[in-house]
Amino acid sequence: MGLRIRGRAWKLGNNISTDHIISGKYKFKSISSLEGMIPYVFKEVIPGFHEKVREGDVLVAGRNFGMGSSREHAPRLLKLVGVGAVVAESFARIFFRNATNIGLPVITATLVPRITEDGDIISVNLEEGVITNESKDVQERFKPYPKEILEVIRCGGIIEYIRKYGSLPW
Amino acid sequence: MTLTEKILSAKVGRRVSPGDFIVIDADLAYAHDGTAPLAIKVMKENERLYRVHDPSKVLLVIDHASPPPNVEVAKVHEQLRSFAREFGVRLFDVGEGICHQVVAESGLVRPGAVVVGADSHTVTLGALSAFATGVGSTDIAIAFALGKIWLRIPESIKVLLDGKLKPWVTSKDVILNIIGNVRADGLTYLAAEFQGTALKHLSVESRMTISNMCVEVGAKAGLFPADEVLASWLRIYGADNGDELSADPGAEYKDELNFNLSKLEPQVAAPPNVDNVREVSEVEGTEVDQVFIGSCTNGRYEDFLLAAKILKGRRVKEGVRCVAIPASRKVFLELLRDGVLEVLAEAGCFIAHSTCGPCIGAHLGLLGPGEVAVSTSNRNFVGRMGHRDSKVYLASPATAAAAAVEGRIVNPKKYLS
Ligand code: SF4
ipTM given for this complex: 0.89
Task: Decide if B138 contacts A101 (C-beta within 8 A).
Answer: yes
pLDDT of residue A35: 86
Q: Closest ligand 1 atom, CA of B32?
A: 5
- Model confidence, pTM: 0.93
Sign of torsion over alpha carbons B309, B314, B318, B321: positive
Mean of pLDDT over chain A = 91
Pairwise CB contact (< 8 Å): B22 & A170 = yes
pLDDT of residue B271: 96
Pairwise CB contact (< 8 Å): A98 & B136 = yes
pLDDT > 90? residue A146: no
Q: Does B94 touch chain A (CB under 8 A)?
A: no
Pairwise CB contact (< 8 Å): B135 & A97 = yes
Ranges in chain B annotated CATH 3.30.499.10: 3-239+253-260, 267-411
pLDDT of residue A26: 66
The beta-carbon neighbor of B185 closest among A28, A64, A76 is: A64
Task: Decide if A18 contacts A76 (C-beta within 8 A).
Answer: no
Fold (CATH) for B3-239+253-260: Aconitase; domain 3 (3.30.499)
Q: Closest ligand 1 atom, CA of B360?
A: 7
HSE, side-chain direction, 13 A CA sphere, residue B11: 25
| Cβ contacts of B224 within 8 Å, gap of 6 or more | B126, B127, B128, B129, B194, B199, B207, B210, B211, B230
The beta-carbon neighbor of A90 closest among B42, B185, B386 is: B185
pLDDT of residue A170: 76
Q: Does A104 touch chain B (CB under 8 A)?
A: no
pLDDT of residue A28: 59
CB interface of B with A, residues 227-256, below 8 Å? none
- Closest C-alpha to B205, from B397, B413, B402, B4: B397
More confident residue, A69 or B23: B23
The beta-carbon neighbor of B38 closest among A73, A162, A168 is: A73
Pairwise CB contact (< 8 Å): B72 & A63 = no
pLDDT > 70? residue A81: yes
For the stretch B196-208, pLDDT in tens is 999 999 999 999 9
Residue nearest to ligand 1 atom 2, measured at CA = B359
pLDDT > 60? residue A31: no
Task: Decide if B114 contacts B22 (C-beta within 8 A).
Answer: no
Please give the CATH superfamily to which domain B267-411 belongs.
Aconitase, domain 3 (3.30.499.10)
Q: Does A162 touch chain B (CB under 8 A)?
A: yes
Q: Closest ligand 1 atom, CA of B378?
A: 3
pLDDT confidence bin for A98, thresholds 50/70/90: very high
pLDDT of residue B239: 78
CB interface of B with A, residues 378-407, below 8 Å? 379, 381-384, 386, 388
Per the rule left: phi > 0, alpha: psi between -120 and 50, beta: everything else, B386 is left
pLDDT of residue A144: 85
Low-confidence ranges of chain B (pLDDT < 70): 241
b/e sequence B128-161, b meaning 16+ C-beta within 10 Å: bbbbbbbbbbbbbbbbbbbbbbbbbbbbbbbbbb
Q: What percent of chain A has pLDDT over 70?
A: 95
Task: Decide if B59 contacts B106 (C-beta within 8 A).
Answer: yes
A4-165, which class in CATH? alpha beta
Q: Mind telling me how many Å the CA of A132 is from chain B's nearest CA?
A: 26
pLDDT of residue A29: 58
Residue of B nearest to A146 (CA): B21
Q: Does A63 touch chain B (CB under 8 A)?
A: yes
For the stretch B162-185, pLDDT in tens is 999 999 999 999 999 999 999 988
| Cβ contacts of B328 within 8 Å, gap of 6 or more | B96, B97, B98, B101, B102, B105, B299, B354
Q: Mind telling me how many Å the CA of A165 is from chain B's nearest CA?
A: 12
pLDDT > 60? residue A30: no
Q: How far is CA A104 from CA A1, A74, A76, A107, B118, in A?
A: 8, 11, 8, 10, 19
Q: Mind telling me how many Å the CA of B224 is from chain A's nearest CA?
A: 21
